[in-house]
Structure 1
Amino acid sequence: MKSIKIIIEKNDDGFWGYSENERAIVGGGDTVQDCKQDILDCIETLRELNSCPQSLKGDYELVYKFDTISLLNYYKGIFTNSALEKITGINQKQLQHYSTGHRKPRVEQREKIENALHSLGKELLAVEL
């Protein structure tokens, strides 16, 4: 199955998404959900056209990739900087700089955030109530 990577970034108008490996796929919206829906609508339109890219003719999966600023802002209502500090080991002030765009995290810091969120996700998947 082919993976189509969708990059989601925050801009002044909301969120913008585009495919990293398929030029024709783009979308935008006020929220990440709106952006994702616009991307799905774009894919549906492309599939209806005779000039549909080969990658959309078979089975494929969409893989969403956030830039650090967008991810931290999107989940701001769910994760406080204090909570993120506990799971990532990155100081709250530094996380605030990343979320505002005043500083860009090094690769190692981005990986720390990503790995911490993946670990939390795995832990939550194992919870039974």
Structure 2
Amino acid sequence: MQVLPLIIEKADGALWGRVAYDDNLLVDSAPTLDELRVNMKTLLQEFHDLHDIEFTYAYDLSAFFEQYAYLKVSKIAEYAGMNATLLRHYSAGSKQPSPEQVKRIEDAVHRLALELSSVQLVAA
């Protein structure tokens, strides 16, 4: 099985994906992540005869907050130690974060995920 990074961005109301393979950059768009995944696998099959493909995912902030819409932007901002309004601008694509800001947000998401992974629930 071949595992490749799929970079996902949101633009013009669609999700755009790109995969670099063998000095080629394959790009396509789709309305959903599932459709984008299928499109990218099809391109890799057609151009490189790859059939057993899995992806790791890297998102821009707009695509991330669309894909994980159930996350509260204000809570992620709190974990990142930043202004929630600014993070809303980043998630809407109306402002662009610096690489350092993106790293702060990514670290906050990872901390939140780690915290949630240690939660234990009991029946009442």
**TM-score, length of structure 1 as denominator length:** 0.73
Residues 27 and 126 of structure 1, relative CA distance in 2, 3 Å threshold: farther
Q: Who is 2:102 aligned against? A: 110
Q: Equivalents in 1 of 2:58, 2:83: separation in Å?
A: 23
Q: Percent identity?
A: 30
Q: Which runs of 5+ in 2 are unaligned?
A: none
Structure with the larger strand share: 2
Q: Equivalents in 2 of 1:21, 1:120: separation in Å?
A: 33
Name the amino acid aligned to 2:113.
Answer: G
Q: Which runs of 5+ in 1 are unaligned?
A: none
Runs of 4+ residues over 3 Å off in structure 1:
24-27, 40-43
Q: Equivalents in 1 of 2:90, 2:40: separation in Å?
A: 26
Q: Who is 2:36 aligned against? A: 35
Q: Who is 1:4 aligned against? A: 4
1:72 to 65, 69, 74: 65
Report if the CA contact (8 A) 2:3-2:53 is conserved: yes
How many residue pairs get aligned? The number is: 120
3-state DSSP of counterpart to 1:38 = helix
**TM-score, length of structure 2 as denominator length:** 0.75
Q: Who is 1:96 aligned against? A: 88
Q: Equivalents in 2 of 1:15, 1:39: separation in Å?
A: 12
Q: Equivalents in 2 of 1:97, 1:38: separation in Å?
A: 29
